Amino acid sequence: MSSNLEYYKVFYYVAQLESITLAAEKLCISQPAVSQAVRQLEKALDSQLFLRTSKGVRLTREGEFFYGYVKSGLESIWHGESMLKRLKDLETGEVRIGASDMTLQFYLLPYLEKFHELYPGIKVSVSNGPTPETLRYLYEGKIDFGVVSTPFEAKSEVMRIDVKEIKNVFVAGDNFRYLKDQELDYEILKELPCIFLEKNTSTRTFMDEYLSGRGITVEPEFELSTSDMIVQFAMRNLGIGCVMSGFAQMELEKENLVELKFRDEMPKRHFTIVTDSKTTVSPAGKRLLQLMTSDIS
């Protein structure tokens, strides 16, 4: 490295804030010190990095080129420092998890409750989103691990642990009660109004792939973002809903919904813990993973 690391830090903030004054305030140093650091870096690199304007400064063409590398390098260093702190800190550390509404409600919540009882000082951050978003956060190192539902495609470095078996069910309201005791073929879904999740979810992907394998394509009347809403739509007789069984269980027990039976039952799915071999899991995250996997045979 041809220059002091502090010069690069000064350059980063001047470029980001487009101001010598604001960079000095951010770094808690004087404006002359900031200007001097910029001049020293420009001299060392034999390049003009900034153009002075009436409103502040802006990067030159060379400066813009250089900024991309400095930004990547400094932010990687700061991320490493943050990770190192998390590695050393269990009692007041942080666990970052990615999970969908479904995996939170029907798998993760009891473990989070138990973990909080055992380690009340540890912060738990949950990024709530569908499986593709959880996997993206995992690749970017934004979470320690995720809890997703199968099926899903992931990079080779992703490690998987199946933790709970789940199944899809088709449910309907009173107007479709006449179908309850029949043994149905999936072809009938092409003749009935259907209510499905949006296509960016593992539940929808699984169902579409299963039906497609049987030569059946269904165009639903309603595509919704949550399974809870599918249950509500089905109760109002707007169509046949497909959800993970847990979402419909209460209304089935109350007989507000009926479950439709098919000659061939869909294969079971799983809730799956995913970790990335390229991302270091914090000690707090490892402790939560141990709690979640301790009863897996």
> Shortest CA distance to 136 belongs to which of 279, 269, 296?
279
Cβ atoms 188, 160 nearer than 8 A: no
End-to-end CA distance of the chain: 52
C-beta neighbour count of 73 within 10 angstroms: 14
Cβ atoms 49, 42 nearer than 8 A: yes
Quote the CA–CA distance of 149 and 131 in Å, as a whole number: 7
| Residue pLDDT, tens place only, 187-243 | 999 999 999 999 888 889 899 999 999 999 999 999 998 999 999 999 999 999 999
Q: What is the CATH number of domain 168-267?
A: 3.40.190.10
> What is the structure's pLDDT at 297?
56
Quote the CA–CA distance of 126 and 133 in Å, as a whole number: 12
Q: What are 217's two structure tokens?
A: 């394509």
> What is the structure's pLDDT at 166?
93
> What is the structure's pLDDT at 292?
93
In sequence order, the 6+-apart residues with CB closer than 8 A to the CB of 79 are 141
Cβ atoms 274, 160 nearer than 8 A: yes
Quick one: fold of 5-88? Arc Repressor Mutant, subunit A (1.10.10)
Cβ atoms 91, 282 nearer than 8 A: no
**Separation in Å, CA 135 to CA 9, 275, 292:** 32, 9, 19
Cβ atoms 144, 280 nearer than 8 A: no
How is the chain split into domains, by residue range? 5-88, 96-162+273-293, 168-267
pLDDT tens for each residue of the chain, 297 residues long? 455 889 999 999 999 999 999 999 999 999 999 999 999 999 999 999 999 888 889 999 999 999 999 999 998 888 878 767 665 655 557 899 999 888 999 999 999 999 999 888 888 999 988 888 999 999 998 999 999 998 888 999 999 999 999 999 999 999 999 999 899 999 999 999 999 999 888 889 899 999 999 999 999 999 998 999 999 999 999 999 999 999 999 999 999 999 999 999 899 999 999 999 988 888 888 889 999 998 775
DSSP per-residue string spanning 22-53: HHHHHHTS-HHHHHHHHHHHHHHHTS--EEEE
Question: Residue by residue, what is the 3-state secondary structure of 115-173?
Answer: HHHHCCCCEEEEEECCHHHHHHHHHCCCCCEEEEECCCCCCCCEEEEEEEEECEEEEEC
Domains 5-88 and 96-162+273-293 are alike in CATH topology: no
Q: What is the CATH number of domain 96-162+273-293?
A: 3.40.190.10
